[in-house]
Structure 1
Amino acid sequence: MILYHYCSNETFLSILRAREIWASELSLSNDRMEGTWLGGVLSDLCDKHGIDVADKARLLSIFDNVVSFFGAAGFCLSEEGDLLSQWRGYANDGTGVSIGFSSEYFEALSKILGERGNISFNLRKVNYDLEAQQNNLKIPVEKIVEFLEKGAFLNPFGGLLFQPTEEEQKRYTKAFGDLNSLLMSMGFEMFQMKNPAFKEEMEWRLVSIVLRGTKENLSDLTRMEYRSAADRIIPYRRFPLLSLSQKPIQEVILGPRNITPERIIQGALVRFGFSDVAVTTSKSSYR
């Protein structure tokens, strides 16, 4: 499968010259709800499963605290290589390009980086379907209900009117620990779900988890690269485009406002070691 990355001409040449891609912190993307959509889906499911207001509030507070330790560096792709909204939003208002990468290449690269002990990534398709999102969380939420019933939110040390037995104390403590572990595992899913309003993007992502600990030795942020944008500083990770049996770049599509002749793009690709790449021009009507 070919997956397309929309970018400016400057970014395109940077990828060719360095033979690498940059996965940037997704929480600093154009989508203000990036990484937070999962919390809303979880809230709705709590209501459907009859979790009372106080327990729900505490649950969502714990979830927010847990997931605050997780970020993700992402390299965004689309199934569609000639989409007007993508040209406008991500390719310098249609003057850039969309680069058609091989999904099979990325799968192979991920495996090799992992085997070498390097920081790697996973290729994931973004889920925009609310019903499917809720179905994916059905079993975890049922487990949450189970942990609450086992006393996850009960005080293991009791109170003035209630003194649990030693066995009950152990059960409450274990249920609370299991609940936190479950919420942490759910946190890894938060960058694979998006608002259905973005479904036109047909997005896939290379996702690399970033730990945001409060101490330096717990935080990946101290080991990342940084770049500037107009109104923000963005952490990112570099991933090399290693020479493998598959070719990384299969196609390049020139944006509807990119006036570069196709032969120039072909020349640049060959100059930097990317051969047999199809080059075409967008058929989108741009105003």
Structure 2
Amino acid sequence: MARVFSRLLSSTGLAAGVIDVAAVIVEGYADSTEGFALCLSENGDLLSQWRAYGADGAGLAIGFDSKLLAKDFGPINFGAQFFEVTKIGYGEDALIDTLSPVVKELQLVFSGQGEFVKLRDGVTREAALYRLAVRQHDAGSLFEGRCDRAPELLANLLKILAPLHFQIYATKPEVFHEEREWRLLRHRHRVALADVEYHADPTMLRPFVSCLIADPAKEVIREVVVGPKHRSDINWLKAFLASSGLEHVQVTRSKIESYR
């Protein structure tokens, strides 16, 4: 995102110092935020998805009601109060669509203001990014105001850039476009909080946040698709779901008949 953002900024006519500061701030967002996502697909019976995420076809695909995903379920830790439903954009075109309104606003607000701020002398782009990442900074130690209105203008610059904090979690490279992905996303500024748990597999330690899908949120689960190599009896699956209070869930088999 930072590379495309810098390129778009370079065509605005804004002062070089202002562009450098804006680009560093946005590039630093990746190290100051974190996102936890339940990744979903518009296509619940796609061969490549079974291979990559469905135990090589032996798993199950759970179908969710998209409208209920966006509903606020109150005190339980599920729904709009805690998560955001985000459609993923693919490739550079999606990034440009996301970034262009912010770039146009920067151009409109700061055109004619000159170089009201720049990186301090001796502070390289790399050094600024490092200090942002480890939080060893304040604005005055990284950026140098160049006019009397610099504090006011810098505060406005930060306000305009703020919506880009979590855009990193809404785009992927074009090669993933067939996934047609949506994410149930919980994002925040990077801090150590007790609700982050950890799972260790043979190759990696993974952080995660537990998500309680309890009454009435359980209605969000609408369908289970049985993988092309899954061997459970459908009637037993239905009985299991009913015993878990999910008797409303429809169970179907994958339409993929030839699996290699």
Q: 2:170 aligns with which of 192, 202, 205?
A: 192
Residue correspondence of structure 1 range 39-188 to structure 2 within 5 A? 39-49=2-12, 56-108=19-71, 110-113=72-75, 120-128=82-90, 130-145=92-107, 146-147=109-110, 149-150=112-113, 151-154=115-118, 169-188=147-166
The alignment status of 1:233 with 2:195, answered yes or no, reads: no
- Structure 1's unaligned 5+ residue stretches are 1-37, 157-166, 213-218
Q: Output the amino acid matched with 1:144.
A: L
Q: Output the amino acid matched with 1:196.
A: E
Shift of 1:155: 7.7
The alignment status of 1:205 with 2:183, answered yes or no, reads: yes
- Structure 2's unaligned 5+ residue stretches are 121-144
**Cα distance in 2 between the residues matched to 1:82 and 1:183:** 39
Shift of 1:132: 4.4
Shift of 1:70: 0.8
Q: Deviations over 1:105-126 (max 9, x none)?
A: 2222x3524999x961111111
Shift of 1:168: 6.6
Q: Output the amino acid matched with 2:24.
A: S
The alignment status of 1:252 with 2:221, answered yes or no, reads: no
1:210/1:221 contact within 8 Å kept: no
**Cα distance in 1 between the residues matched to 2:188 and 2:37:** 10
TM-score w.r.t. structure 2 length? 0.76
TM-score w.r.t. structure 1 length? 0.70
Q: Output the amino acid matched with 2:253.
A: T
Change (3 A) 1:256 1:47: farther
Q: 1:274 aligns with which of 221, 246, 252?
A: 246
Q: Output the amino acid matched with 2:219.
A: K
**Cα distance in 1 between the residues matched to 2:76 and 2:12:** 39
**Cα distance in 1 between the residues matched to 2:204 and 2:77:** 34
Change (3 A) 1:114 1:222: closer
Segment drifting more, 276-285 vs 54-63: 54-63
The two structures, once aligned, show a CA RMSD in angstroms of: 3.2
